[in-house]
Amino acid sequence: MGPFLSFARRLLRYPGELSLALFFAAISAAGLGAGLLGLAPILRMILGEKGTALPELAKQFNTENPSFAIPEFLIGWLPEGRLEGVMLILGGLALLTVLGAAANFMHQYVSIHLCAKVIARIRLDAFRHAIRMPLGEVVRLGPAEFSSRVIRDTAELQGGLLALTSKTVAQLTKGIAAFIAAIVIDWRIVVVAAIAGPLLGIILRKSGKRIRRGTKGALKHQATLLRVTGETLQGLRAIKTSTAETSMLGRFRRANSLVVREQLRARTAQSLASPLIETLTILVVIALAALAVREILRGSLTFDEFLLSLGALAVAAGSVRPLTGLVAVMQAASAPAERLQELLAIEAEPSTSRSRPNLLRHQHWIRFEGLSFQYPNADVLALNEITLEIRHGEHIAIVGPNGCGKTTLLSMIPRLLTPKSGRVLIDGADISQVNLKSLRCQIGVVTQESVLIQGTIAQNISLGMPSATDSQIQDSARRAHADSFIQNIPGGYSADVAEQGASLSGGQRQRISIARAVLRDPSILILDEATSQIDAESEIQISQAIAEFGRERTVIAIAHRLSTMLAADRIIVMDRGRIIDSGSHSELLVRCELYSRLAKAQMQSADAVTQGSG
């Protein structure tokens, strides 16, 4: 359970609450032990031939245990009558029971509170690490996998921590207290009972391995289940129009079956452990009975001592018995702990490294030098020896067929991806050697799919800049040509945006994304197919906003529409991860066959739209 214990050690970061939980557990267990030992005088007064009053029992105790002698003035307060003595002891046992129950409640309460705080911290650490990991790692594993580990695995881990702190500690302290009471009464019987300890450990170890493997497999397939569910519900419109409901149901059913198979594998091991422990317990009791009968017949053990010792061991066994299930829970929690460890072990981006210098505001040029990149498990290079220089204030359009490496190239500028070889320079500074935050603060990005969060329009515009004032937000919206439609929405800038921006049109979402970029006042503006999926009217407004804002800034756009190509100072043509040509629109039409083909296809598309609307 190494991974689980590594997270359990985080409990030590809260020494006050942990000590308080252990204190209440010890008080509850001490009450149990004292209660078991308190039964001895009751049995002697009731079962003895003549009976013994409490004062006599106290004096007898002082004679046998002078180091722990009861003060004489306390002995004087003890009742002489046997009935009164029994009632006094029973009253004391009742009081101990109430105090033990109160201590047990406080132990449970503090333990639950402690585990909730620890898991909240682990969940926060896992989420923080996930969003600071290199984009390539997220692409490789998939967003659903990370979501599963951050949310589902931490929930599973919380169950293990609760089993450890709340239940295991309580049962273990009670078992130890009862065991000590049994030793005090008669140690010989305890020696026989202790033989069962190693056998118990073997059973728990063997079953624990199967539980851990089964739980880990179940969590892996639950991540697949989460991914299939997310893909289906997010793309439900396309699935319905493609009549793909049956296909998606089949994917879900297969993943669901694998989850059940792995869960049953773990549950079988858990179910088998309990009857094995019960069988072992019965065999130990039979051996104890045989030993007791022999000792009683020899006269070296009284019947009441046997009953008390056996009763204390029964209480100890009753306390230890639930540990089988609790250990199984902790073994199961080791699987999500291992997955969380794997997540936290992935190296994060050095976004706040103080050892690296800040990048000064870009004002000269951006240069790609011999840049190559290959995605994990890909057979070919996505970028192959790219060398390119872009001057400050230049408006560049990058064109090429799908999969030629356009988006990958632009992802290199904010260091979303790390090149296999080569480097990116901004004004002579290698961006891999500068503070990452100082680099990204200079870059504004508008992508094809606008990323909007569930919140107000103002919150979406100021995403990443929480200190922005209302006037700054509104000014950026005006410069992005978004203020007019925002003012017409009930609530204006305080209006709520539905999940993924579903309450807004595509053009409105894009203008909010541009307003977000404007608010950052970047020196470099990256447009990744920003106008490829919007109507002509929205394209005009967005293009105008970009042209106005892009003055005296370096603008690099992935172009699919002819209007974007024509607005550029220079056009870069890419194919199969290489730059094959660059120049103006008119130059490329003459000398670059690929560009000519792409441009003509855009002209024909524009003509078709015009004829259709006419």
236-248 tens-digit pLDDT: 656 665 566 787 7
List the one residue out of 119, 546, 518 whose CA is nearest residue 333.
119
The predicted pLDDT at position 63 comes to 77
The tokens describing 287, both together, are 């051996």
Q: 609 pLDDT exceeds 50?
A: no
To the nearest whole percent, how much of the chain has pLDDT over 70?
A: 69
| Residue ranges of the chain that CATH labels 3.40.50.300 | 356-442+555-614
- CATH class in words for 2-214+270-345: mainly alpha
Number of H helices, E strands in the chain: 25, 12
Segment 166-207, tens digit of pLDDT: 777 766 676 666 666 666 666 655 565 555 556 555 655 666
pLDDT band, residue 392 (cuts 50/70/90): very high
The predicted pLDDT at position 524 comes to 92
pLDDT band, residue 496 (cuts 50/70/90): confident
Q: 95 pLDDT exceeds 60?
A: yes
Question: Where does residue 94 rank: exposed (0-12), middle (13-18), buried (19+ CB within 10 A)?
Answer: exposed
Residues 6+ apart with CB under 8 A from 563: 531, 539, 543
Higher-pLDDT residue of 349, 109? 109
pLDDT band, residue 64 (cuts 50/70/90): low
pLDDT band, residue 339 (cuts 50/70/90): confident
In angstroms, the CA 63 to CA 19 distance is 37
Sheet holding 395-399, edge to edge: 443-447, 524-528, 554-558, 395-399, 570-575, 578-583
| Residue ranges of the chain that CATH labels 1.20.1560.10 | 2-214+270-345
Is residue 230 within a helix (H) or strand (E), and if so which, with residue range? helix 196-234
Q: Say which CATH superfamily domain 356-442+555-614 falls into.
A: P-loop containing nucleotide triphosphate hydrolases (3.40.50.300)
